[in-house]
Structure 1
Amino acid sequence: THTTGDNTLVWFMSESHNTYCKEQHTGLDHESIGDNGPWEVKCQLAGSPGPYTGSWQRTAGGGGSASKTTVWEAGHRVPSIVRWPGRIKAGSVSTALVSALDVLPTLVSLTNSTLPLHRHLDGMDVSDILTGRSQKAHQVLFHPNCDAGPDGEIGAVRVGKYKAVLYTGGVPDCSGTIGPLVHHTSPLIFNLAVDPRESSPLDPEQKQYQDVLRVTSQALADLLQDIREDNTSTVDYSSSSDPNPCCDKNSEICRCPQDDLPGTC
């Protein structure tokens, strides 16, 4: 007899947050679950980033956080667990490069639904990865800034095993130390396969660095061009008074910036 649970896909994905409570309830150690981005300002309650320490920030970047709200690995790398009896092999493990952006297109595919036309989604269908039929995943991921640089601006580009870091510093650690916010016109490039701690960037004079830089720069340029072209509209707000802010104190949908403003404007 099959139950609803047997035919239900459960997809758990951690938000970059503190690991302290998880450790208490699961019995797992820091290294087991540390790659979900502790918030360093919470000090000992923040847990551990495991091997993803963003060491360069501490040794060469003036200190400060290398976890939550940064583009270091501990700021965005999270674990994911998927359960689907009969479809996903129990105990299977994948190191494929996937993203939370993949959830929507994957569920659309699994339910034989369709996505809206004329929309370019950043996510991809990873159902073959979940079911073990393929390990083909993203070759490129983009990591936007939060506190470590302008909000929403791309602060790091991941291409395969390499990551180019464009912004460093600007986020406090437990002690309140904040490394200077630096925009690297020549990005720091790390080989995460051999340097998950991001301690030793590639030498900019070496061919390996230059080859990776060429690929990451082109990937970022393509993304920005795609953003400019996709799902855009042009609006002339001067042609009508409809979009003007309202400040009617008797209306629940209006907000008045000052108490002494007249009732309408």
Structure 2
Amino acid sequence: MKRTLPLLAALLLVPLAVLHAAARPNVIVILSDDLGYADLGCFGSKAIKTPHLDRMAAEGLKLTSFYAQPVCGPSRAALMTGCFPMRVAEPGNRKNQHNVLHPREVTMAEMLKDAGYSTACIGKWHLGARTPDGWNHATMPNAQGFDYFYGTPLYNGLTPAVGGNAFRSQILRNTEVAVKEVQDWDHITQDYTREALDFIRAHRAKPFFLYLAHNMPHIPLGASENFKGKSAGGPFGDAVEGIDWSCGEIVKALKELGLDERTLIVFTSDNGPWIETTDGMKPGGKPFIPREHSGNAEPLRGYKMVTWDGGFRVPCVVRWPGNIPAGSVSDELTSTLDLLPTFAALADTKPPADRKLDGLDLGAFLRAPSGKSPRADFLFYSYTHLQAVRDARWKLVLPRPEYPRWTGFSGRFFGDGVSALELYDLKSDPGETRNLADTHPDEVARLMALVESARADLGDYDRVGAGQRFFDDGPKRRDITAWKQPAKKDSKTK
């Protein structure tokens, strides 16, 4: 009894804020770039070896119906804000192909920073606006809630080899240029891992939020000496196996620091694989991305930039020892939209209350993943064009021409037109191969009601939605009339 009294007295003197902070988990989001649904061992890859991510899945939860967005900028906007990209405000009331976050948007980093978390963005940002002198810093990570930033403002390139295009990416450290022009990407995953580990070690005493957004395996690919030429999955597999190593290093550090059971890790991808063997997938077109430089979405249909499931549905592993049951697998509908409100609840704070969010709190579901997800449906936008909607079982695909101008760069793929409503049972047909619209008119009608509700709230290529956010003076989506032009049917239309 005499030995316990000093301990009890000491505990009574511990500030409540310290005890409160200790109860809240650290949060790590690891986002890969252009990783396909089937590009991890735990999601079916036979060629690419991912032992660390496979172990993370075995120790946590594998989500098999987890959705992002079809391309880089919109995907990051949805993740950071908990909103469909169509809802998110941008400077000048525009709607860009790749979202630029308005300074008045609230990111998950700002929310967690206000709750007392240390925050870092390491890797690809792709939500900022360029200026003649570089970057509008009000739209960059340090102004969007991140205490520390190290990474690329945009993508790492547009061609399979760095020399195939005049573009050269910078690397920034906070607002300063750390590398003026990156000439090869072989060590970028190692560099990001070093930065991530340094941040974790430096901020282990209080809750932290780490957003680690890898440039790999987006082209041009890179892999260090330990991985280059080693994967049966070719150069793409080399890059993915480097990311897997990085995940293993992070988990190892958490264990060494005694943070393992106090840290929630979410690993996922920003969109499906960039499979574009010829420009726009045109038959006989100029060769573009060699097949061993891009991933695999099997058994799903489609790939990056299109609204078939292969463009949106991505691998997701969630690990939080002692809180998420090990070895769990769920096909419940979930999304990157849901991470912000989930993190808010875990951090004992609130999402921004002055605006509508599309995300839902997954906290109870993650702790009991044999149950139901709170998410009932999901919308598929290509840029500003609503092209599909799904619920827990059914996906309704809306008609569209082959080259809808209102989808910009993302609408250039050959032969992707849809002439009439199509309905797919994703539980029995995840590859979207059997159109059941004629035999299930009741499901078509029910999902069309969701479509009309979405158009009224979020808008479409030809209308402004009542729930879209515009913070600046002047017209809303001022070039909207340009997107009403009929699409041409020749191969020159992009």
Normalising TM by the smaller chain, what interval? 0.5 to 0.7
Tell me: CA distance 1:10–1:211, structure 2 relative to 1, closer, same or farther (3 Å). Answer: same
What's 2:296 paired with? 48
Q: 2:307–2:380: 8 Å Cα contact kept in structure 1?
A: yes
TM-score by length of 1: 0.65
- 1:100 paired to 2:347: no
What's 2:442 paired with? 211
Give the Å deviation of 1:225. Answer: 2.2
- 1:81 paired to 2:317: yes
Q: How many residues were matched structurally?
A: 203
What's 2:377 paired with? 140
Paired residue secondary structure (1:122): coil
Q: How far apart are the structure 1 equivalents of 2:323 and 2:241?
A: 31
TM-score by length of 2: 0.37
Which one has a larger percent helix, Structure 1 or Structure 2?
A: 2
One-letter code of the match for 2:384? G
Q: How far apart are the structure 2 equivalents of 1:17 and 1:95?
A: 19
Q: How far apart are the structure 2 equivalents of 1:230 and 1:202?
A: 32
Paired residue secondary structure (1:143): strand
Equivalent of 1:195 in 423, 426, 429: 429
Q: 1:128–1:135: 8 Å Cα contact kept in structure 2?
A: no
Tell me: CA distance 1:234–1:73, structure 2 relative to 1, closer, same or farther (3 Å). Answer: closer
CA distances 1:69-110 after superposition (whole Å, capped 9, x unpaired): 000111010011111121112221121100101011111111
What's 2:304 paired with? 68
Q: How far apart are the structure 1 equivalents of 2:353 and 2:431?
A: 41
Q: 1:14–1:80: 8 Å Cα contact kept in structure 2?
A: no
One-letter code of the match for 1:117? A
Q: 1:16–1:75: 8 Å Cα contact kept in structure 2?
A: no
One-letter code of the match for 1:136? S
What's 2:35 paired with? 17
Unaligned runs of 5+ in 1: 28-32, 55-65, 146-150, 172-176, 239-265
What's 2:414 paired with? 179
- 1:39 paired to 2:274: yes
- 1:115 paired to 2:339: no
One-letter code of the match for 1:157? V
CA distances 1:230-265 after superposition (whole Å, capped 9, x unpaired): 365697649xxxxxxxxxxxxxxxxxxxxxxxxxxx
Give the Å deviation of 1:37. Answer: 2.0
Higher relative contact order (CA 8 A, sep 6+): 2
One-letter code of the match for 2:444? L
Q: 2:397–2:421: 8 Å Cα contact kept in structure 1?
A: yes
Give the Å deviation of 1:118. Answer: 3.8
Q: 2:396–2:423: 8 Å Cα contact kept in structure 1?
A: yes
Structure 1, 75-84 or 226-235: larger mean CA deviation? 226-235
Q: 2:421–2:437: 8 Å Cα contact kept in structure 1?
A: no
Q: How far apart are the structure 1 equivalents of 2:451 and 2:354?
A: 21
Tell me: CA distance 1:39–1:92, structure 2 relative to 1, closer, same or farther (3 Å). Answer: same
What's 1:8 paired with? 26
Equivalent of 2:456 in 216, 219, 225: 225
Paired residue secondary structure (2:330): coil
